[in-house]
Amino acid sequence: MSDPVAVYVHVPFCVVKCGYCDFNSYAVSGPIVERTVAATVRQMAESPWRGRQAATVFFGGGTPSLLDAPQLERLLRAVLDAHPPVDGVEITAEANPESATLGKLRAMRQMGFNRLSVGVQSFDPEDLRRLDRAHNPEDAEKAARHAREAGFDRLNLDLMFGLEGQTLRAWERNLDRAPSLEPDHLSLYNLTIEQGTRFERLQREGRLRLPDEEVQTAMYLRCAEMLEPAGFRQYEISNYARPGQECRHNVWVWRGGEYVAYGPGGVGCVRELDGWVRRTNLKKPLAFCLAVERGETVWQETERIDPATREFERILLGLRLNEGLPLEGLPEEPIREGVRRGWLEAADGRLRLTREGRLFANDATALFL
> Shortest Cβ distance from residue 23 to ligand SF4 (Å)?
4
Q: Determine the interface stretch with ligand SF4 among 16-24, 36-44, 184-192, 353-361 (rule: CB under 6 A).
A: 16-24
> Shortest Cβ distance from residue 307 to ligand SF4 (Å)?
34
Q: What is the DSSP letter of 211?
A: P
Note whether 189 binds ligand SF4 by CB under 6 A. no
Question: How big, in percent rounded to 5, are the helix, strand and coil portions of the chain?
Answer: 40, 25, 35
Interacting residue with ligand SF4 among 6, 7, 9, 18 (CB under 6 A)? 18
Secondary structure of residue 5 in the 3-state scheme = strand
Secondary structure of residue 291 in the 3-state scheme = helix
With 0-12 / 13-18 / 19 or more C-beta atoms within 10 angstroms meaning exposed / middle / buried, residue 329 is exposed
Interacting residue with ligand SF4 among 63, 156, 238, 245 (CB under 6 A)? 63
For residue 277, the cross-strand partners are 270, 304
> Taking Cα atoms as reference points, which of 57, 54, 256, 94 lies closest to residue 185?
94
Q: What is the DSSP letter of 271?
A: E
Note whether 17 binds ligand SF4 by CB under 6 A. yes
CA–CA distance, 210 with 19 (Å, rounded to integer): 14
Residues 263/299, Cβ–Cβ less than 8 Å = no
> Shortest Cβ distance from residue 331 to ligand SF4 (Å)?
37
Note whether 47 binds ligand SF4 by CB under 6 A. no
- Report the residue number, 114 or 197, with the smaller CB distance to ligand SF4: 197
Q: Mask: binding to ligand SF4, 72-111, rule CB under 6 A, as x and -?
A: ------------------------x---------------
Residues 277/303, Cβ–Cβ less than 8 Å = yes
Q: Determine the interface stretch with ligand SF4 among 18-26, 174-182, 239-247, 249-257 (rule: CB under 6 A).
A: 18-26
Note whether 238 binds ligand SF4 by CB under 6 A. no
Q: What is the DSSP letter of 283?
A: S
Interacting residue with ligand SF4 among 23, 189, 299, 360 (CB under 6 A)? 23
- Report the residue number, 120 or 344, with the smaller CB distance to ligand SF4: 120
